[in-house]
Chain A
Amino acid sequence: QKEVEQNSGPLSVPEGAIASLNCTYSDRGSQSFFWYRQYSGKSPELIMSIYSNGDKEDGRFTAQLNKASQYVSLLIRDSQPSDSATYLCAVTGYGGSQGNLIFGKGTKLSVKP
């Protein structure tokens, strides 16, 4: 059973701090990695994708991938109360076979003013 694991939280950080969200996955052949943000009662929204080892930065967000450790993370710099949401990690397997995007259960982030 392919799995994506996330700490459910809640992760609480003060405004302006760096929030670090982590995700591990079981399928060593995984190819693509995604972070979705989901506000309470709303649908998920894609915020980052990463496909190769290393860091990828987009504004205040940085995704980090380490395939050897089967680990992907999301850093949010200068955290704002509006970043308070649940962050879902999603992973696709090798070959992009149909229907193989696996979601973690999400980490709830709370940014305190």
Chain B
Amino acid sequence: DGGITQSPKYLFRKEGQNVTLSCEQNLNHDAMYWYRQDPGQGLRLIYYSQIVNDFQKGDIAEGYSVSREKKESFPLTVTSAQKNPTAFYLCASSPRPRDTLNTGELFFGEGSRLTVL
């Protein structure tokens, strides 16, 4: 079945550690995104990528890093520089670059819940 797979589903991190969240899609989508969701909050964009080897910062990129070495994969690293990393992280993809009307039609993975101990 086509879809977006995020792993791990739950992750615990100690202070000062970097962690990497995996996101893989087999939908052949060009664009991929990482969002963060805090309780009672909307989704905030961390990074996005339209094509392989290219990505752009979103609204809250500080303390995060990404790579896009393959079309199917867009991992997110939460670094120790991120002051408040406990959150629900959502990876999404869309079938075409965001320069047409339907660029807001996102397909989401199941999410990764990160807790800092």
Contact = CB atoms under 8 A, between A and B. Distances in A.
B43 interface: yes
Contact of A43 (B50, B103, B104, B108): B108
A8 B40 CA distance: 8
Contacts of A4: 42
A60 B107 CA distance: 22
B56 interface: yes
Interface string B70-106: 0000000000000000000010000001111111111
A23 to B, nearest CB: 11
Interface stretch (A62-70, A74-82, A93-101): A93-101
A103 B40 contact: no
Given A34-B104, A92-B103, A98 B111 contact: no
Chain B contact-residue range equals: 20 to 34
Nearest to B94: A101
B56 A99 contact: yes
B108 A98 contact: no
Given A4-B42, A104-B42, A98 B50 contact: yes
Interface string A81-95: 000000010111001
A46 B111 CA distance: 15
Contacts of A56: none
A101 B111 contact: no
Contacts of A92: 98, 101, 103-104
B58 A99 contact: yes
B94 to A, nearest CB: 9
B64 interface: no
A88 B42 contact: yes
A101 B108 contact: no
Nearest to B100: A96
B98 A99 contact: yes
